[in-house]
Amino acid sequence: MSETDPWGVTTLELFELLEETLGGPVEQAVATVVGVDGSAYRRPGAKMILGEDGSTYGGITAGCLEGPLQDVARDVIAAGTPEFVTFDLTDDDDGWGLGLGCEGVVDVLVEPVDERWAEPVEAYHRGESRALVTAIDGTDAVPTGSRTVFTPDGAVTEADGERSLPPEVIAQIDETARKRASEGNWCRRTAATDDGDLELFIDGITPATRLVLFGGQPDVRPVTRLARDVGLHVTVATARGGQADESSFPRADRVVATRPTDLGELVDHRTYVVVMSHNFLDDRLALESLLETSVPFIGLMGPRERFRRLRDDLEAEGVRFSETDFERIAAPVGLHLGGGEPVEIALSIVSEVVAVSNGKSGGRLRNRGGPIHDRPVSQPD
């Protein structure tokens, strides 16, 4: 994807590029939206990477700020110090008026991709979450870009203490930062210092949603591909050793052979699982293994009646399904999109995983909050 569409990269891909970039000379800057007033295309926390060679990766607006941002990025890379910039598009008069994504005020923090990114980037790829707490409007004592990284348990000690936030600032935002490190999402806070107020951006970064696909047949491939395209981290777990071949699933992040009874060992409380081995016995053993874990989503491919038979078999063996189990089991897996092509089935599955991982249920947006014709249809005067 990144080759044909550098603008539309996922956060997972963006963090992969950060990982590749780190360790070498500093030739990239990362721009983060840290505030929006009005209509911006991306929300605070959205990031893009800008190279000193003019390259861009990701996009934080629908094309209206990327040009000016390249100039800022070059300065930041050359100086090695972060900059906070505000773009005011409210009186933009070039025909964008009443546009979408290119009006309003957008605050952006532009930072060099240097060693200070190593810890959060490595944590992201390990599947851990962090909050980056950064001074966006610094003081003499605490310059713009000063940062402390938080885990859900508290501040991470940094090697480069000079550019960290001072202990008295950390004390003021400790609870908020830990909460954002745990839950993701962003906020802005003001901390009092001897030099005056310090404006902080707290950027909760949660790892990509983990999707485990249990199965090894060809229909796993389109699911893998679409899931990766929309930013999920994909593991293919096959019950037959001979199929655990990375070349069969080139888009998967990981391909592992597992016994169905051991599937539960691959998951945690943030893993989404789709059981699609096509083998009834394997699927039953896999489901039994998953029920003993804290996994929040168990999708089962196949008709509703097949799940009844899986359940009957398991209950006959003494397995009990709790209300929580019925909440997390999606049978049949997928949103109701119709269509029988393999890619349409894959789209249905991936859409449901994205919706559920975002706490949504997949219906049409236009049907939320009442009909769009909530006024009487207008009559001729």
Residues from 141 through 170 that contact its own copies (CB under 8 A): none
Instruction: Among 2, 99, 139, 244, indicate the residue that binds its own copies (CB under 8 A).
Output: 99
Instruction: Among 212, 226, 234, 274, indicate the residue that binds its own copies (CB under 8 A).
Output: 226
Of 82-90, 138-146, 213-221, 256-264, the segment contacting its own copies by CB under 8 A is: 213-221
Angle between helices 342-357 and 220-229 (to 10 degrees): 50
Find the shortest distance in angstroms from Cβ 190 to its own copies: 25
Instruction: Among 31, 102, 110, 213, indicate the residue that binds its own copies (CB under 8 A).
Output: 102
To the nearest 10°, report the CA torsion of 340, 342, 347, 353. Answer: 110
- Residue 213 has a CB neighbour count (10 Å cut-off) of 28
Of 131-139, 148-156, 170-178, 272-280, the segment contacting its own copies by CB under 8 A is: 272-280
Find the shortest distance in angstroms from Cβ 140 to its own copies: 36
Of 94-102, 123-131, 154-162, 255-263, the segment contacting its own copies by CB under 8 A is: 94-102
End-to-end CA distance of the chain: 53
The b/e string for 275-304 (b: 16+ C-beta within 10 A; e otherwise) is bbbebeebbbbbbbbbbebebbbbbbbbee
> Under the criterion CB under 8 A, does residue 38 sit at the interface with its own copies?
no
> Under the criterion CB under 8 A, does residue 196 sit at the interface with its own copies?
no
Instruction: Among 4, 23, 25, 292, indicate the residue that binds its own copies (CB under 8 A).
Output: 4
To the nearest 10°, report the CA torsion of 247, 249, 252, 256. Answer: -80
Sites for its own copies among residues 237-256 (CB under 8 A):
250-251
> Under the criterion CB under 8 A, does residue 184 sit at the interface with its own copies?
no
> Under the criterion CB under 8 A, does residue 334 sit at the interface with its own copies?
yes
Q: Are the C-beta atoms of residues 120 and 183 closer than 8 Å to each other?
A: no
Sites for its own copies among residues 7-26 (CB under 8 A):
7-8, 10-11
Angle between helices 280-291 and 304-316 (to 10 degrees): 70
Name the residue nearer to its own copies (CB basis): 200 or 226: 226
**β-bridge mates for residue 197, sequence order:** 192
> Under the criterion CB under 8 A, does residue 230 sit at the interface with its own copies?
yes
> Under the criterion CB under 8 A, does residue 35 sit at the interface with its own copies?
no
> Under the criterion CB under 8 A, does residue 222 sit at the interface with its own copies?
yes
> Under the criterion CB under 8 A, does residue 231 sit at the interface with its own copies?
yes
Please state, in angstroms and as integers, the Cα–Cα distance from residue 291 to each residue in 233, 271, 307, 358, following that order: 22, 13, 14, 22
Instruction: Among 68, 97, 143, 241, indicate the residue that binds its own copies (CB under 8 A).
Output: 97
3-state secondary structure of 212: strand
Of 15-23, 116-124, 166-174, 340-348, the segment contacting its own copies by CB under 8 A is: 340-348
Q: Are the C-beta atoms of residues 188 and 204 closer than 8 Å to each other?
A: no
> Under the criterion CB under 8 A, does residue 229 sit at the interface with its own copies?
yes
Name the residue nearer to its own copies (CB basis): 159 or 321: 321
Find the shortest distance in angstroms from Cβ 148 to its own copies: 26
Name the residue nearer to its own copies (CB basis): 80 or 250: 250
Alpha-carbon torsion 236, 226, 303, 216, what sign? Answer: negative
Quote the tokens at residue 192: 């009092």
Smallest CA-to-CA distance from 252 within 269, 227, 272 is with 227
